[in-house]
Structure 1
Amino acid sequence: MQTVFLVLLLIAAVVAANAVYAKFNQVPVAFLQIGAGLLLSLIPLYRHFELEPEIFLFVIISVLMFNDGQNTSLHKLSRNIGTTMSLAVVLALITILVVGTATHLLIPQFSLALALALGAIITPTDAVAVSSITTKVAIPDRVMETLENESLFNDASGIVAFNLAIAAVVTGQFSVWHGIGNFLYVFVGGILVGLVLGYVIVAGRIMLINMRVDTPSVIVPYTLLTPFVVYFLAEAIDVSGILAVVATGLIHGIQSDRLRLTTSRLQIVMSTTWSIVASILNGIVFVLLGVSLPSVITHLRQRDTGSVAVLVGLGILLYVLMTLVRFLWLRFDLARIRAWDDHEKTRNAFVVALSGVHGTITLAMAFSLPLTLNGASFPYRNDLIFVAAVVILTSLLVPTIWLPLTLPKQVVKVTEAELANAKSEMVASAIKMMQARHGNNPTTSQVIMILEGQRVLDGRPSHTQLTELFDQTYAVERQTVDQMVAGGELTPELAERYMRVASRTRIQNQQTFWQRIGLFFRFVVVGKWSMSKKARARRKLFRQYKPRRGQTREQMMHRNRQLWGEMRSVEQKPYAAVIQFLNDHGTTDNQQAIGIVRRAYDERHRRLSGERDFQEAQNELLIEAFQLEYNFIQSQTSRKQYDPELANQLYEQISTDQLVYLQSINAD
């Protein structure tokens, strides 16, 4: 139970860091996640927290690599397969040898096998980490494509080399030729196993689709289990489970068109699920780094007061060495990225070298180092984890500072302000047309509320603004009811009874959250109501519907139906007057407040009138409203008011909203 609680705290820390990043994106999210981990390390439960090393490979890396594989474009990969293999396999292996040799020479206490294991840990790059630190600069498309393809396979290269190095550390023996042969067997075998299993799993999923067994409750777990099954089977025959899940992911990407032959709802659920899972797993690794760093540093200081400084220097030196090797490899065309001239070639080589950011896979491999060796603690495990952490932090900091100085700023084709303004115009046009065609009946009002949700609005309306609007709508109701009494349509008693209902609508919606909590406290704990004017009105209203002494159940129900019938007969004109008032007084500044007030009155109207079965009519009006939005965008585009990029984003917004809203209505 304690382990479950600790894992849930890790997830909560990831969520908190992501929430902070959503508001303050000047700092890469990886740093925020590490900071969240440092805060967790203050909790006593985390002082001796360790996950089994196998969990990282099986639960975290396999899932992330499968997701990367299924999101990789095979066309782009095949077009640059030579460059990808040069960087991801040849350069990765050379870098491991260079880093391992340098580490062994600088720190002889590290055996060559252990030093090579360190090289395998810090060699893989992370395209996701690159994206997180380059959101504000314009990295050339060819360069970014190269980095993404490289990270897909050099992760696998690093993991295979890491496993071989750890095996050499454990056994104390290593043969170059045996190592090369084993590497090829594990590498190629993993790919072949993944391809075969990928085709089998995809065929099974297509069979389920053809059998109409393609509900999210079946397909989503089926796909989520795929990397675990593939990894387990591949490791069972001693080939690379990581490469197997990458190959299986690629097969899923190749077959994506056939796999899309299912419901749109399932496609959205699948895409969203994988996005969330990948984000959480990436974040957990960085949070764990923050959790583990204080403990690692403490152990290093206990052993030798100079260890931390030496290892920091080693980590920075190894980062510089790897960056230099990457730059020279590309500058001398050992891996080619198409360029117009030498200047562009040098720039591309420089950007790729600096963008060799190390992240999730590096951390996961560091944490997957064995806890023990031959019954004793694994030697220098904390040292390797700390060096890996230094390399990761350095590789994140350097490009964050340097790339914005050398690359142009990211040019946003459509700014958030432009998109928000266009959405507001689109929604306003559709609302105006819907009101002109169908008036202000409840179904139309409900559709208008849905359309209002498409607007991009910041913050929430102030309590003062809402209070003022509810006061105004209450005054409109009072004026309308008074006119009905003057015209002989209502008796004064029935008018007063209705205004008590109207007063309840105003009071309920004007109270803040804390006022409701206070009211609950006074009623439940103190045992009495506050005798304010509004409270007395509420109590009087509630007593109206309280069963009288001696009444039977049938008599009480008949009386309540009579009261509701009276309210229903009165409510039509005041409701119409309120909706007309809200339509006439809507501005850009009070859109959200108008929507909230309208929703409160619509809900009361449906409750009083008993209109609950209006789904079909609402569905039809929604389709009409979305079509009006499509027409508006086409009109604005043809008149050159909207450029194609803005129009495409608006089309995408409408398509997504149409799918989500209509399916939610049908689900109800």
Structure 2
Amino acid sequence: MSILLIIALLVGAVVAANIVQPFVKRIPEALILIVIGALFSILPTFHGFQINSEFFLFLIIAPIMFQEGQSHPYNTIRKHAKTIIQLSVVLALFTMVLVALVNANFPTKWPLALTIALAAIVVPTDAVAVKSMTKGLTMPKGLNKSLELESLFNDATGIVLLDLALSFFTKGSLSPMTGIGYFLFVSLGGLLVGAILSLLVVGLRMYLNFHATSAQATTIPLNLLTPFVIYIVAEHLGTSGILAVVAAGLVHNWEHSKLQLIATESQIVTATIWQTTTTVLNGIVFVILGLALPAIFKTMTHFGWIGSLILLALAAAIYLAMFLGRFLWVTLQSDQNLTEFFGKKHTKNRRIRARLFGLSGVHGAVTLALAMSLPTKINGRPLPFLDEIQIVTTLVILLSLAVASVSLPLLLKPETAEFSPEDLDRVRKQMIDTAIIAVEQSSAKHAIKKALSQTLQTQKFTNGRRLAQADFTTAVLPLMNAVFDELNDYLDSDHVQQNFAENTIAIYSKIIQRGLINPATKRHPLMHLVRKLRRLQGELRFHIKTRTFTRKQRARYQQEHLKARPKQQRMMANLRDNRHAVWALNADTQSYADQLLAKHLAEQMIAGQETGNIDQVRTLLDRFFDLVAHDYQHVNVTVPAEAYIHAFGHEYRFVTSELEKKAISPALGDQLYHEINQAQTLQLMDFTAN
């Protein structure tokens, strides 16, 4: 139960950070997660909380790296293979040497192997954390891509180098050739194992997509299990499990490009699950870092002020060395392949990007996992300087996050949106209203048109805000009165006069006069309650006065009452005879009201007016027509799939027309296309499920 509670709290912390972040936009989400984690450490559930590093790599890092691999096209990786090696291997080794030199010159007196181990731990970078810090800022595209490619593979470099350092510490010596051979075996072996196993999985999934009875029930779970199985197999064979899952992700990206429009629903569901899962897992990493902070700071107190200051100075020196290393490496590189990412050499653009690249060397998930993966004992003896290494690692992570979160917003300009939220809301409403007009003017049944129009209205909630309610007296009441007058004119039209009896028209006109104009008056909720109480009081007084409490008593009283009043009896008989004719006229008038609302909606769109009053008037009219038809039961109407397709087709045509007229920007058009696609996919998936 405690494990389930811990998982629930960790996920809850990520949710809480997403709720808090919009209110403190200047603070990166990673720092918010760390603070929440530190606060959670006070809870009794997390007292003595420790993470098994193997499970951390297996359950958190492996799926994150698998998704990272899936998000990078295979052609991009092949095109930039040389650059990837330079970023994730050459630069990593260069940075590690600088860190080891800095550490060796500090009065820490660590063995060379542990100095190399610390350098290997802080080598991996976290591009996801950088993205959260640069959200809303204009980060150069080429630089962003270089950070992603570096982060994709330098994790494995750090893991392999840490294994070599620990092996060096255990044996006391390690030949260069042995180290190089081990590095190639672990890295290339991991890539090969991941690629081969993933190709087998992809082949199996392709077969199941065409032959399985329920393809989704098998292919989606199989995809979710893939990184875990491949990681276990690769680690069992002595190769890099991280590189294996990265290679598996790349192969799955290739599979996606080959499938194209095959098994689309399965691909959409799988992609959504992976994006959501990895977002949560990335957040959990920083929550765990926050949980570890109190214990780290408590451990620092054991070293005293001087010892703590030395460790803090060492962490700052290591961070500075890594920044300078990354800055100099980019500045001095003359390889033409790097021009796409960093600009031309000896230019201002290159210097700016070199500085940004240095500051973007943020450390996170893998660095934390490697620090926690250090063994407590080697050869039966406690690993020396274990606490110091973990403290310095934590401080380096915090420094990299803090410096980047402050400096990057100062150096980068805010994103200039190609369209404003107000423009998006305005055009979205026009698009939806255009589709509703087409729906109202169609020949479908009123119940289907009503349900479909209500569904389309929900698209206006895309921006996360409630629909603006039109002011009743200034917007709704004038429109309601105009519609009321038009309905009265319709009852006097030749169509109604020729198809319905004069008596039926007279009865229905009185119903409209009494029933339709009353809902058009603004009713306060308290007044509505007062009316109900008065009605209940009147009914109670009637029952007491007439002594009619059961159904039989009421029926007998009604017969005696009408028998004594022949005029009322004839009127009731007349109403019964005209009931079906009134219902038919009510249905006819309801169809005409749909056309009226579509006309008013079009007029308001052309005039550029807010159309929220149309929906409120439609609600009032539907309530009236349902009451007249004695349709008191709210029956769920099933809208046919083709009706949705036609409605979304009208939205597509509206956006296309606006783009052709250059009334909206291509970026705004793409956003609306994306929203229509999502809405259409959701509705059709629901239709298939039902």
**Counterpart-to-counterpart distance in 1, 2:381 and 2:480:** 78
* 1:289 aligned partner: 289
Using the size of structure 1 for normalisation, the TM-score is 0.81
Residue 351 (structure 2) aligned to one of 346, 350, 371: 346
Residue 364 (structure 2) aligned to one of 356, 359, 366: 359
Alignment of 1:94 with 2:94, yes or no, is: yes
**Correspondence list, 1:37-56, <5 A:** 37-56=37-56
Code of the aligned partner of 1:427: I
* 1:608 aligned partner: 631
Residue 420 (structure 2) aligned to one of 383, 393, 415: 415
CA positional deviation for 1:489? 5.8
* 2:124 aligned partner: 124
**Counterpart-to-counterpart distance in 2, 1:25 and 1:603:** 49
Alignment of 1:157 with 2:192, yes or no, is: no
**Correspondence list, 1:531-550, <5 A:** 534=532
Q: Secondary structure at the match of 2:435?
A: helix
**Counterpart-to-counterpart distance in 1, 2:112 and 2:630:** 77
Cα distance change, pair 293–442 in 1 and its aligned pair in 2 (3 A): same
Cα distance change, pair 377–50 in 1 and its aligned pair in 2 (3 A): farther
**Counterpart-to-counterpart distance in 1, 2:174 and 2:345:** 45
Q: Secondary structure at the match of 1:342?
A: coil
**Counterpart-to-counterpart distance in 2, 1:302 and 1:224:** 44
**Counterpart-to-counterpart distance in 2, 1:259 and 1:540:** 70
Q: Deviations over 1:543-581 (max 9, x none)?
A: xxxxx9899xxxxxxxxxx9xx99999986997799799
- 8 Å CA contact retained: 1:160, 1:186: yes
- 8 Å CA contact retained: 2:97, 2:119: yes
**Correspondence list, 1:151-550, <5 A:** 151-170=151-170, 174-213=174-213, 215-333=215-333, 336-338=337-339, 339-340=343-344, 342-343=346-347, 344-373=349-378, 378-438=383-443, 441-455=446-460, 456-457=462-463, 459-460=465-466, 487-488=506-507, 534=532
- 8 Å CA contact retained: 1:440, 1:579: no
CA positional deviation for 1:11? 0.8
- 8 Å CA contact retained: 2:156, 2:242: yes
- 8 Å CA contact retained: 2:483, 2:596: no
Alignment of 1:632 with 2:654, yes or no, is: yes
- 8 Å CA contact retained: 2:419, 2:667: yes
- 8 Å CA contact retained: 1:260, 1:267: no
Code of the aligned partner of 2:638: Q
Cα distance change, pair 538–414 in 1 and its aligned pair in 2 (3 A): farther
Residue 643 (structure 1) aligned to one of 661, 665, 678: 665
**Counterpart-to-counterpart distance in 2, 1:607 and 1:153:** 69
Q: Secondary structure at the match of 1:321?
A: helix
Q: Secondary structure at the match of 1:106?
A: coil
Once the two structures are overlaid, the 10-residue window that deviates more, 451-460 or 465-474, is 465-474
- 8 Å CA contact retained: 2:187, 2:240: yes
Once the two structures are overlaid, the 10-residue window that deviates more, 283-292 or 80-89, is 80-89
**Counterpart-to-counterpart distance in 2, 1:268 and 1:581:** 40
Q: Secondary structure at the match of 1:453?
A: helix
Cα distance change, pair 136–651 in 1 and its aligned pair in 2 (3 A): closer
- 8 Å CA contact retained: 1:358, 1:392: yes
Code of the aligned partner of 1:354: L
Q: Secondary structure at the match of 1:99?
A: helix
Q: How much is the aligned-residue C-alpha RMSD, in angstroms?
A: 4.3
Code of the aligned partner of 2:683: Y
Q: Deviations over 1:638-665 (max 9, x none)?
A: 2121222222222222222112112213
**Counterpart-to-counterpart distance in 1, 2:298 and 2:48:** 12
Cα distance change, pair 578–113 in 1 and its aligned pair in 2 (3 A): farther
Q: Deviations over 1:141-166 (max 9, x none)?
A: 22211111111111110111122223
Code of the aligned partner of 2:271: S
Q: Deviations over 1:609-659 (max 9, x none)?
A: 77858535x433222211111221222122121222222222222222112
Gaps of 5+ in 1: 512-530, 543-547, 552-561
Q: Deviations over 1:108-140 (max 9, x none)?
A: 343222222211111111111121112233222
Cα distance change, pair 457–188 in 1 and its aligned pair in 2 (3 A): closer
Q: Secondary structure at the match of 1:51?
A: coil
Code of the aligned partner of 2:661: R
Cα distance change, pair 432–113 in 1 and its aligned pair in 2 (3 A): same
Q: Deviations over 1:345-402 (max 9, x none)?
A: 2223222222212122212222333345566665443433332222222222323333
Cα distance change, pair 304–572 in 1 and its aligned pair in 2 (3 A): farther
Cα distance change, pair 210–65 in 1 and its aligned pair in 2 (3 A): same
Gaps of 5+ in 2: 492-502, 541-548, 553-575
**Counterpart-to-counterpart distance in 1, 2:374 and 2:277:** 24
Once the two structures are overlaid, the 10-residue window that deviates more, 208-217 or 62-71, is 208-217
- 8 Å CA contact retained: 2:121, 2:158: yes
* 2:25 aligned partner: 25
Q: Deviations over 1:588-607 (max 9, x none)?
A: 38479849957995998899
CA positional deviation for 1:485? 11
- 8 Å CA contact retained: 1:17, 1:29: yes
Alignment of 1:81 with 2:86, yes or no, is: no
Number of corresponding residues = 625
Cα distance change, pair 316–113 in 1 and its aligned pair in 2 (3 A): same
CA positional deviation for 1:413? 2.5
- 8 Å CA contact retained: 2:476, 2:617: no
Q: Deviations over 1:78-120 (max 9, x none)?
A: 2222221011011212322321242233143432222222111
Q: Secondary structure at the match of 1:25?
A: coil
- 8 Å CA contact retained: 2:14, 2:33: yes
Cα distance change, pair 210–662 in 1 and its aligned pair in 2 (3 A): closer
Code of the aligned partner of 1:18: N
- 8 Å CA contact retained: 2:476, 2:613: no
CA positional deviation for 1:322? 0.6
Once the two structures are overlaid, the 10-residue window that deviates more, 69-78 or 229-238, is 69-78
CA positional deviation for 1:9? 0.3
**Counterpart-to-counterpart distance in 2, 1:49 and 1:599:** 61
Once the two structures are overlaid, the 10-residue window that deviates more, 604-613 or 90-99, is 604-613
CA positional deviation for 1:246? 1.1
- 8 Å CA contact retained: 1:469, 1:597: no
Identity of aligned residues (%): 31
* 2:494 aligned partner: none
Q: Deviations over 1:37-92 (max 9, x none)?
A: 11201212212111211111111111111111111122222222222101101121
Q: Secondary structure at the match of 1:358?
A: coil
**Counterpart-to-counterpart distance in 2, 1:428 and 1:654:** 14
Cα distance change, pair 341–234 in 1 and its aligned pair in 2 (3 A): closer
Code of the aligned partner of 2:667: E
* 1:135 aligned partner: 135
* 1:621 aligned partner: 643
- 8 Å CA contact retained: 1:442, 1:602: no
Using the size of structure 2 for normalisation, the TM-score is 0.79
Code of the aligned partner of 2:665: D
